[in-house]
Amino acid sequence: MYKVYVVDDAALVRKEIVLTTPWNALGCIVVGQAEDGRIAFEEILELKPDIIITDIKMAYMDGLEMIRQLKDAGVEAEFVVISAYSEFEYAFHAIKLEVQDYILKPISDEEFISTIRKSIQRIKEKKNAEKMDSGKENEFLEGFDNKNLNTHLRKAIAYIKEHYSEELTIKEVASQLLISESYLGKLFKAEANSTFVEFVTRTRIHESVELLKNKNMPIYEIAKRVGYKDYRYYSMIFKKLIGVTPKEYQKKS
């Protein structure tokens, strides 16, 4: 069942959404509701819903600010914004926050149900993509232990694994091996099905996975240890390859 959380300062609207939507038929369950973003924020972090339906204009913390803070906290739920305010400014800010759907009140049952179904489909697609990325990652990393690789390539890989925390360039590694950059680049492409940069990146991410098992180590420190000065960039690359953020991985490990 997909978990749903509803945020709206109008009790009647919340009641309508919770009680009249055929959640069970959609494969969903409402796990919580709140009248403003401040209350919802803490509960969402605890309940980890898959879909968050929120109004915009609310007391204490509005819907867009709540979404912004939740995203900063690593929440990757599908966000559906509902509002009586049709001004472009609100829709524009919602789009900037990568909100997938923006529905105006009064809510059309048909449109609402269609939106939920689209959200569920996106969740399924994300999960499938994560499984594929995870499989590719394991295959990629294991493939470089192949003893049948070209001698120069094996030496390059060994050098990278020893110096991955430093600023590495293909020029530097090729120089260490006394071969040309173009030749080394061709070896990576032909035998490892990868570019030099891709291999260095995946090596760093692979090493950081081990460091993330230490739940007390800050993400920025882990990023630094594997060669990333900007931990935000590291987080972006990690999520692209592994499917979740470093913070999420650290919590689960």
Q: How far is CA 148 from CA 143, 151, 153, 154, 192, in A?
A: 10, 8, 10, 9, 11
How would DSSP label each residue in 141-177?
HHHTT-TTS-HHHHHHHHHHHHHTTS---HHHHHHHH
Measured CA to CA, the distance from residue 164 to residue 202 in angstroms comes to: 10
Average pLDDT in the 202-228 region?
92
| pLDDT tens-digit readout, 41-83 | 999 999 999 999 999 888 888 899 999 999 888 888 999 998 8
Average pLDDT in the 187-192 region?
89
Instruction: Give yes or no for residue 155 having a pLDDT over 70.
Output: yes
Instruction: Give yes or no for residue 220 having a pLDDT over 80.
Output: yes
HSE-up (13 A, CA, CB side) for residue 171? 1
User: pTM for the full model?
Assistant: 0.58
- Helix, strand, coil distribution of the chain in percent, nearest 5: 60, 10, 30
Q: Could you give all domains of the chain from N- to C-terminal order, each with its CATH number?
A: 2-128 (3.40.50.2300), 144-252 (1.10.10.60)
Tokens at 158, concatenated: 């060994």
Average pLDDT in the 194-215 region?
91
The pLDDT value recorded for residue 129 is: 61
| pLDDT tens-digit readout, 114-139 | 999 999 998 887 777 666 555 655 56
More confident residue, 1 or 84: 1
Tokens at 161, concatenated: 């694994």
Instruction: Name the range with the highest mean pLDDT among 32-36, 70-74, 134-138, 235-239.
Output: 32-36
Q: Lowest-confidence range among 71-75, 171-175, 223-227?
A: 71-75
Tokens at 88, concatenated: 């472009």
The pLDDT value recorded for residue 142 is: 55
More confident residue, 192 or 18: 18
Percent of the chain having pLDDT more than 90? Answer: 56
| pLDDT tens-digit readout, 3-18 | 999 999 999 999 999 9
Average pLDDT in the 79-91 region?
75
For residue 20, what pLDDT band results from cuts at 50, 70 and 90? very high
Percent of the chain having pLDDT more than 70? Answer: 89
The pLDDT value recorded for residue 85 is: 67
| Cβ partners under 8 Å of residue 36, min gap 6 | 7, 9, 58, 59, 60, 61
Q: Are 64 and 43 in contact (CB under 8 A)?
A: no
The pLDDT value recorded for residue 179 is: 94
Quick one: how far is CA 233 from the chain centroid? Answer: 12
